[in-house]
Each structure stands twice: as structure tokens, then as C-alpha cells.
Chains A and B, each alone.
Chain A
Amino acid sequence: MSSSNEYLFLMNMPISKYLLLVSVFAIGFAGCKKEIDPDRYEVNPVELYSSIGEKTKEKSREQYVSILYTNLFQQALSGNELVEIIDCLESIGDKELGREVLISNFMNKPGVILPTDSVMRANPDVFIQDTYERFFVREPSQAEITWFRNFIESNPQLSPELVYFSFALSNEYLFY
């Protein structure tokens, strides 16, 4: 069937049959193993920075908020919400304070995705590695892993949420 015939076939199909066909395709796709084709979905592989010194550009407020939201919720922020949040940050003179309040607000929202405390403490090195890659898009140095491992182990009340908070509020997170 040529593509034009295919189009006519779909156009002439009763709506109930059309919905059924869509459903069958949807179930079929859902049952498939997820393999993301970077070319088909235009997903760009991200190279990790090889050194901290490569981050020379400061993120715009829009970039900062969008990336922060994606890091915490693992989904994109809507355009309207982005505009409103930028306005909120503009309305506070101490920008670092504004970011702190914003992050605190995000942490209180349903849908924020955080590792559990047991995951963090079961293997701190992996948690630290993942957190550096998630927020800083680079691997931690051995000194950084050691410092964080010691800090986590010596602070039994420290939660993954606070670790994420510190990364999101750090100066490095403002740069790319």
C-alpha cells in the first residue's frame, strides 16, 4: 500500500475502527523492549566533562531552572511555569537566596524523585558518582569521593535530599 493509499484508507475508516487500530499499535509498542534510537528520537548523547575547568559559561536563569527541574523531577517543566519561576527569581534581590527558596519549594512538591537513604548508604561511592554525573555532568575526583563518603558516613542523619540540595545550590551547577 502506497503512503497516499494508506492515508485514504485511514480517512475512510470509521472512527471506532481507527481508535481500535491506534490502541493495538499502542499496546504493541508498549510491549516492545525499550531501545532508544538516538537518531530516530533526536536524543543527543551527552559527553561528560573531562575536567572542571571546561565549564566556562554561566547558565541563563531559564537554563538553570529547566535543568534543575529535570534533574529533580525527571520530566520537563512547562513553558508557563518556567516563565513564572523566572519572575519569582527576578523578584528576590539575593539570587542565591531565591534559588534556595525555589529548591526548598521543589523538594516539597509531589513527584520529586530522590534516591532513598538506604541506597545512598549501601554504596556511597556509587551514589556520589551518580550525583556528580547527574548535576555536574562530570565524574568526581578521588578527593571529592573521599570527602563526600566521609561526610555521609559521619553524618547519620544526612539525607540524599540534602546532598541534592547542596549540588543544586552550588556555584558549579550555575555553569556549563
Chain B
Amino acid sequence: MNMNRRKFIKTTAVAGAGAFAVPYILPSGRLFAASGEQLAPHVVYVLFAGGVRQQESILQRYLADSQGLPWEGNILYNMFNGAPPTNKIVYGTDQGNGAAGGTPIPQILSQTLQSQGTLFREVSSQSNGHYGGLNNLLQGSQVTTQGLKQKPVNPTIFEYLRRHGGYAATDTWFVGNGIANSIPLLNFSNHPDYGASYGANFFAPSITFGAPGFEHLADAKVYHPENELNPMYRMKYFLDQSFSSVGTAGDSIGNTEDEKQHIKAFMKQTYERVTQNLIPHPPVTDSNDALTVGYACEVIREFKPALTVVNLSNVDGCHTDFTGYLRALHRADHALGHLWNFIQTQVPEMASNTILIASPECGRNLQHNPIKDSNDWYAFDHSDDNSSRVFTIMAGPNVPAGLSIGSESNPVGITSDNVLTIAEILGVKNEVQVAGLVQAESMSLFDRI
């Protein structure tokens, strides 16, 4: 090379300046990346888990504040510090010779999430119903006109991230526990400034990778991307162009052709892994929530998303079965512990740089309803003020460890805070605030610490 040192430095400097000066057009069409710094490149957000009473979760009262029995203890010991109950154990598995549910599931995490991160002990849920609560957790706003079987009215966190952060469709995932209760509607809103083209990918694994999926999706023909799919898409685009003045599908979330290929290959691979029993489910899989988390692990390992939202809901059996509720709570904690452990040990690209957030969408009533279960224990609905009491737990980089904030007499935080918190972690908090569609009093939880 004839280039001398001075010329090399000059050339490099010019090229470097050019690189900074030329705007980078993101996949979303946004000219520049988000203005804020990221606190972490990945967030895993668990909607936990179908209406959770503070009494049996954060307050660790077990049967004491529900059935008038004197047994207390912590059945969520992957999440919270505290000793488990010593009597009347019904929440475990049926293994061994003891009573049904008499064998507690072993703890997965060597250190609880509470020790690893920050716990907001008393948070106000903005809705005491599931759909309102879930919408609140994903939109960061309370919309009184939000109806069941209706797309979110305001943008979801997925849309904020994709529109303002330039994230690709496969950077945002929502793994649902099923397709009931409007769950599949939550991956994007019908807000005119956001909507489908900024939505998240979604699977309801119990369907997609369950019996219906095996029957109607698993045998999908694999076409050659260049020789077959490319001309097929060219014909489709020609047909769409002819029809463009009349209408469009309006329900495509804008996966690129490469992303579609990636998702289809993932689906094919997952069907094979299901057949081979290779899905990384939690050790105990006797609940749909546990199975859902196994598939969420699969999505995380494959796509390493910026945001993965996982919805759990088995706890809602508490409407009629308190024993089943305790079992579901224990399993949701088990599944959450497994998820966090999986990320830290099986996904090197996300270990140590992922923040986990978990919040119930609502609590449950203080007073029971008249329904008794097989243990003669009363069931609980969710409609009173106690249903507005929940917690939020966070762990990961930049989250203070071992910090506990708020108390029963001093609530700190509202569930709509989570949207701004995730926006801050992934660098778009300012943009979300400027959009002006989140609840006025919500703040990033980092600002509440």
C-alpha cells in the first residue's frame, strides 16, 4: 500500500464523519435511532398470572388471610424471600406418598428475584378485570372505552418500540397462554398513528404447536426461497398493486420476507422439537402456564427479541377452586424461575443483559365468594379494592439489587408504569412521553426508585 499514515488518518476521519453525518434509515422508516440510551438490550415482561391476591403472594399469608386457618408461608420462593409454609401443603406435586399436592416443587433460582432486583411491594392496578388489566400493562393507559374482543385503543409497548425505536417485527414477541379472552388482540392497537404495521409477532403455543397446529400447520410445504417463493411473492405483489386502490389486508404486522422465512423455519423446527420432546419446558409441566413458558424459552433462544411478553393465567381458576389457585401460583413462580434461569444459562446473547419485569394484571377480592373446593376452602373473584393491589418485581442490569419499595400503607407505583419503564430500558421513553398517550400520572419505575 502506498498510503502513508497521515493520508490514512485523513481518509479514515472523512469516512467516519460521513458515517455519522449520513442518516441511517431504520426498518420502520424512522430516520434516526431512538434518542435515549438503553439500560439493557432485552426485556422479558411476564404478565403474572391471572389475578393474584397480595395476601398469598407478597404478604405470604398462605391460608391465613383467606380461609381463617393459621398457616402462613411463601409459596413463590423463586420470586420472593421467605420461608415456605410448614403445614397443610397442597400446592406441590402429587409425587411421593403424601397428600395431593404435598410435595413442593424444588426452588430453581439459587437467589430469589427479590434478592437479585427491585421489588415494588404495593402497586395500584388500574383495572380489577383481566382484559382491562392486560391492556393497562401493555398500553400504559387506562381507557374506559376499551371493550372485550376489541383491539387496544391506544398503542401498545410493541408499537412504541417499533415505531420510535426502529425495532423489527421479530424483535418484539407476545407469547400468549391461549386465544380466549381477547388475548390474540393484544399484539397491536387500532390507533391510527400506530397499528398493525408496528405490531408484535404472536403465538398461542397451546394452539400453534398443539393438536390443531399439528393438524393444520405443521405439514406446510417448504418452498425454495429463490426459485419458488420469490416468483410467488412477485405475483402476489402484482395482484396487490392492482387492488391497492380498493383495499389492503390491514392485518400484516410487517415481517419482511426474510423474517417470514425465519418464522416459518422456526415453526417447522419447533414441530420437530415437540415431536422429539426437546422443548425446554420447566421441570414441572402440569399446567398450561408452564407449557407456555417452555415455548417462550424457545422463541427467546431463536429470536433473542428486544421485548418478549409472556402471558400466564392459570391462577384465575381461583374463581371456583382455591386449592387449584395455590397450585397455579406455585407453578407460575416455578415457570418464572425457569424462564430467568434459562435466559441466564442457555441464551448467552441475553444472559446478563436482560431485564425481567413481572406484574399481575389485577389482584383478587378481600372477601371470598360462596364457592368451596375439595378442601372446603372458599374461592375468590376480583372486583373490589383489594383487586387493585398488586406488586411489580424487576431484575437485571441497572436494576438495584435487594431493594424493596413501598408497603401496604405506602403504595408506590401503578401498573401503567411498566410501559414507560420498558420504554426507558430500550431507549424510547422520551418518544413515548411526547406521544402523550400513556396515563398522565405514570412514570418509569426507575424514576420511582
What is the bound-complex CA distance between A49 and B203, given in angstroms? 37
Determine which residue in A155, A159, A166, A171 has the highest number of CB atoms from chain B within 10 A of its CB, and name it: A171
A93 and B179 contact, CB distance less than 8 A: no
B235 and A94 contact, CB distance less than 8 A: no
Residue B267 at the A interface, CB < 8 A? Answer: yes
Interface string of A99-130 (1 = CB under 8 A from B): 01110110111000000000000000000000
A84 and B236 contact, CB distance less than 8 A: no
Residues of A within 8 A of B222 (CB): 104
B184 and A91 contact, CB distance less than 8 A: yes
B213 and A97 contact, CB distance less than 8 A: no
B213 to chain A, nearest CB (A): 6
What is the bound-complex CA distance between A94 and B201, given in angstroms? 6
Residues of A within 8 A of B264 (CB): 97, 100-101, 104
B258 to chain A, nearest CB (A): 12
What is the bound-complex CA distance between A92 and B204, given in angstroms? 7
Residues of B within 8 A of A155 (CB): 231
Residues of A within 8 A of B434 (CB): none
Residues of B within 8 A of A76 (CB): none
Residues of A within 8 A of B169 (CB): 94
- Of B179, B202, B242, the residue contacting A87 (CB under 8 A) is B179
Interface size class of A (residues with CB under 8 A): 35 or more
Residues of B within 8 A of A88 (CB): 207-208, 212-213, 216-217
B232 and A95 contact, CB distance less than 8 A: no
A166 and B243 contact, CB distance less than 8 A: no
| Chain A-chain B contacts (Cβ-Cβ < 8 Å), number | 148
Interface string of A55-89 (1 = CB under 8 A from B): 11010000000000000000000000100110110
Interface string of B247-260 (1 = CB under 8 A from A): 11101110100001
What is the bound-complex CA distance between A95 and B216, given in angstroms? 15
Residues of B within 8 A of A93 (CB): 174, 184, 187, 199-203, 253
Query: Number of B residues whose C-beta is below 8 Å from A?
Result: 53
Residues of B within 8 A of A170 (CB): 236, 239-240, 243
A84 and B231 contact, CB distance less than 8 A: no
Given contacts A93-B203, A101-B267, A174-B249, contact A87 B219 (CB under 8 A): no
A139 to chain B, nearest CB (A): 13
Chain B, range 149-208, C-beta contacts under 8 Å to A: 169, 174, 176, 179, 184, 187, 199-205, 207-208
B205 to chain A, nearest CB (A): 8
| Chain B residue at minimum C-beta to C-beta distance from A104 | B220
B134 to chain A, nearest CB (A): 15
- Of B239, B247, B251, the residue contacting A55 (CB under 8 A) is B247
- Of A94, A101, A163, A175, the residue contacting B247 (CB under 8 A) is A175
Interface string of B127-144 (1 = CB under 8 A from A): 000000000000000000
Question: What is A's interface to B at a CB cutoff of 8 Å?
Answer: 52-53, 55-56, 58, 81, 84-85, 87-88, 90-97, 100-102, 104-105, 107-109, 144, 147-148, 151, 155, 157-159, 162-163, 165-167, 169-172, 174-175
A-B pairs with beta carbons under 8 Å apart, 25 shown: A53-B245, A55-B246, A84-B215, A85-B212, A88-B212, A88-B213, A90-B179, A90-B204, A91-B179, A91-B204, A91-B207, A93-B202, A94-B255, A95-B251, A97-B263, A101-B217, A101-B267, A102-B217, A104-B220, A105-B221, A151-B231, A171-B239, A171-B243, A172-B240, A174-B247
Question: What is B's interface to A at a CB cutoff of 8 Å?
Answer: 169, 174, 176, 179, 184, 187, 199-205, 207-208, 212-213, 215-223, 227-228, 231-236, 238-240, 242-249, 251-253, 255, 260, 263-264, 267
